[in-house]
Amino acid sequence: MKINANFANLKPSYLFRDIAQKTAEYKAAHPETDIIKMGIGDVTLPLCKAAVTAMEKAVAEMGNKETFHGYPEAFGESFLLEAISNYYKKEMGVRLDTNEICVTCGAKEDVSNILDIFSADNTVLIPDPVYPVYYDTNVMDGRKINFISSNESNSFLPLPDENTKGDIIYLCSPNNPTGAAYTRDQLKIWVDFALSHDAVILYDAAYEIFVSDPDCPRSIFEIEGAEKCAVEFCSFSKTAGFTGTRCGYTVIPSELSFDNTSLLSLWKRRQSTKFNGVAYIIQRGAAAVLSDEGVKQIRENINYYRTNTANMMNTFDKLNIKYYGGKNSPYIWLKCPNNMKSWEFFDLLLTKCGVVGTPGEGFGVNGEGFFRLSGFGDVNRTLEALQRIQKLFE
């Protein structure tokens, strides 16, 4: 028996586990420190009332012989597929057939599971910096990886040029970690590039609900031609606080095909073999989130998180610390003061302020010298963290 030797090419541990471990070690050595966590983008507000009510009702159904459900539908229950399709139509003006949506346990799983349907011979194109799952999962499969540089000079929104090469292109907008969001015109450039190079775009839209700029699309399917070159991933984690409840979905247009083969049919073949669907109770909660009342409630939660990003922007403006993001994203991507390295700044904030963030270097080489703070925390705790940071730098 041989193990997958590609794992030797990974960093020993996943970024957010590294941070959790360093934080736990520091806390064990300094139990008196009141630590404020602004590292991993984990939500802090509870599920909205519409979701809770629907899930309670679903639990009661499951406890009754007449209304009990066994295995869920492999690609999602029709009530949730219809709710997602309506949401796209209402919120983004995008028409999706329910057959093109597959409900899953979340975008993190999907952006890596989708690789099962692509040959390991493909070259992958990944922006640097970006969500580390894209890189790690392709390293595990042994694919060749090219990077496209995302940096201050392109406002963290890289575009392809004649040197850009990749068969599988990951894009994340609004971006994790930088918070930058592509405009329609910019995204059209990527769509045209993919179409003319026979490439597929894997579009991570997990943060779509944070887009406030009308020039920035929330779905790649707002762009003409995307239905012939793109797959979209989305999640209820950030939109509706489902990080612990787990539900997401993948959209694959029925006309998307390569080598005369529909990607949707390959994905459904993969899913029906390896996945038994999302729990009925969770799907009821997710569908309720997308009802008119549910959308109103989750928008209130998003506005709460926006208070955090607004407070962060205020503080960093006062301190003259340069930052990106915040406007269309729950993340602030700041330039470490005094030319500090990312992990140096991590140690400084942890030891002097008791504040945990995410070192930019963990998202790629170009993230060195940057630092990500999450706006998903409690408003008062975030203010407390900002006061401590302000004291340190003024």
Q: Which CB, 41 or 76, lies closer to ligand MLT?
A: 41
Chain contacts with ligand MLT (rule: CB under 6 A): 40-42, 108, 131, 176
CB of 307 vs ligand MLT, minimal distance in Å: 19
CB of 311 vs ligand MLT, minimal distance in Å: 19
Largest Cα–Cα distance in the chain? 66
Q: What residues contact 308, with CB distance under 8 A and at least 6 apart?
A: 330, 375, 376, 377, 379, 382
CB of 25 vs ligand MLT, minimal distance in Å: 20
Q: Which CB, 315 or 358, lies closer to ligand MLT?
A: 358
CB of 98 vs ligand MLT, minimal distance in Å: 26
Letter for the amino acid at 87?
Answer: Y
Q: Which CB, 42 or 368, lies closer to ligand MLT?
A: 42
Q: 286: closest CA among 233, 237, 230? A: 237
CB of 104 vs ligand MLT, minimal distance in Å: 14
CB of 15 vs ligand MLT, minimal distance in Å: 8
Q: Which CB, 176 or 186, lies closer to ligand MLT?
A: 176
* 167, 202 Cβ separation under 8 angstroms: no
* 208, 240 Cβ separation under 8 angstroms: no
CB of 251 vs ligand MLT, minimal distance in Å: 18
Q: Which CB, 72 or 357, lies closer to ligand MLT?
A: 357
Q: What is the number of other CB atoms lying within 10 angstroms of the CB of residue 2?
A: 4
Residue nearest to ligand MLT (CB): 41
* 180, 151 Cβ separation under 8 angstroms: no
CB of 124 vs ligand MLT, minimal distance in Å: 19
Q: Which CB, 42 or 192, lies closer to ligand MLT?
A: 42
Q: Which CB, 108 or 327, lies closer to ligand MLT?
A: 108
C-alpha span between 96 and 110 (Å, rounded): 19
* 353, 393 Cβ separation under 8 angstroms: no
Count of residues in the chain: 394
Q: Which CB, 280 or 363, lies closer to ligand MLT?
A: 363
CB of 236 vs ligand MLT, minimal distance in Å: 12
